[in-house]
Amino acid sequence: MCLHGVGAHGLRYRRLADRLPGRRLVALDLRGHGRSGWQPPWDLDTHLADLLETVDALGLERPDWIGHSFGGRLVIELRRRSARLTPDELLEEELELHLVADEDGRLRYRYAPTPVVAANGELAKQPSLDGLAAVPTLVVRTPDGEVCPDGIVMWDALEETAAAVRGFLS
């Protein structure tokens, strides 16, 4: 299951599919994108429900997931909601360090919404890729080869992640 980012569409994965013979790639258009329905709401819960409905309709029991940008966030949410791997003490530390009670008593992450909106707007701009081929890059993978979101790798395999970073920087 391949999930695109904001402002994109599922067909972006067609060239990847061409390079993976023998694998079935499903790359749908997220709600409000491409040829999917455009009706609201466009929140995480609705996108996740759409994804799970599609997986069920296709009869996929345990698909592999690839996500780019917002699609990556959806993969993280699917993973987080289906299996929590992070030890409780690390979650409690995150709550203490990064969550704050709002005036309505609800816990919220400590960030200003306006810069988040601005950052998402910047993500929509076409980047220049000039010179990037020469930039050393580390992609941290699990032992079975999956690329993991930062939070999962950092919290659930901190020693392995630190070793990979040390090796990369040396």
* pLDDT tens for each residue of 83-108: 545 567 776 787 788 888 888 888 77
Write out pLDDT tens, residues 62-89: 788 888 888 888 887 887 776 545 567 7
The answer on pLDDT for 149 being more than 60 is no
User: If we measure between CA atoms, which residue out of 81, 94, 106, 73 comes closest to residue 3?
Assistant: 73
Residue 51, CA atoms < 13 Å, CB-side half-sphere: 30
Is the domain 2-133 a CATH 3.40.50.1820 member?
Answer: yes
CA 10 remoteness from chain centre? 15
Residue 65, CA atoms < 13 Å, CB-side half-sphere: 23
Handedness of CA 125, 130, 131, 137 (dihedral sign): positive
Residue 10 contacts residue 27 (beta carbons within 8 Å): yes
Q: Band of the pLDDT at 144, cuts 50, 70, 90?
A: low
Write out pLDDT tens, residues 27-45: 999 999 999 999 989 888 9
The pLDDT assigned to 120 comes to: 76
E strand segments, the chain? 2-3, 66-67, 99-101, 107-109
67 backbone dihedrals φ, ψ, rounded to 5° = -135, 140
Residues of CATH 3.40.50.1820 domain(s) within the chain? 2-133
